[in-house]
Amino acid sequence: MNSETIIALVVLVAALAHIALYRWVKFKIHEGVILQFLRDAGEAGAPDHHHVDAIAAHTAIGAPRVDFVCRKSTRIESDPQVENSWRAN
């Protein structure tokens, strides 16, 4: 391999690692914001579950992103009685 190929591979691997790390950090931040909302709402006497749209409205995170984060998170569980509702695990 010549040096240009090696440099290109290093740059490619570094860029992919950066993208993966960025996505993971963004996911963890959104997960934390959603969890904090769910916990705060529970302490304030609200129901322990909330619909995706309510979470999105209170956290300023888009509803599709809230749905994605809630589905992927191991710390947030769905409410089996109400569709698209989530609660802290």
The whole-angstrom separation of Cα 88 and Cα 50 is 10
CATH fold for domain 24-88: Arc Repressor Mutant, subunit A (1.10.10)
Of 43, 44, 38, residue with least CA distance to 70: 38
Question: Where do the domains of the chain lie?
Answer: 24-88
Q: Which residues contact 47 (CB under 8 A, 6 or more apart)?
A: 41
The whole-angstrom separation of Cα 55 and Cα 14 is 35
pLDDT per residue as tens digits for the range 32-74: 999 999 999 888 777 888 999 999 999 999 999 999 999 999 9
Percent of the chain with pLDDT over 70: 100
- Distance between start and end Cα atoms, the chain: 51
The structure's pTM equals: 0.86
| Res 9 pLDDT > 90 | yes
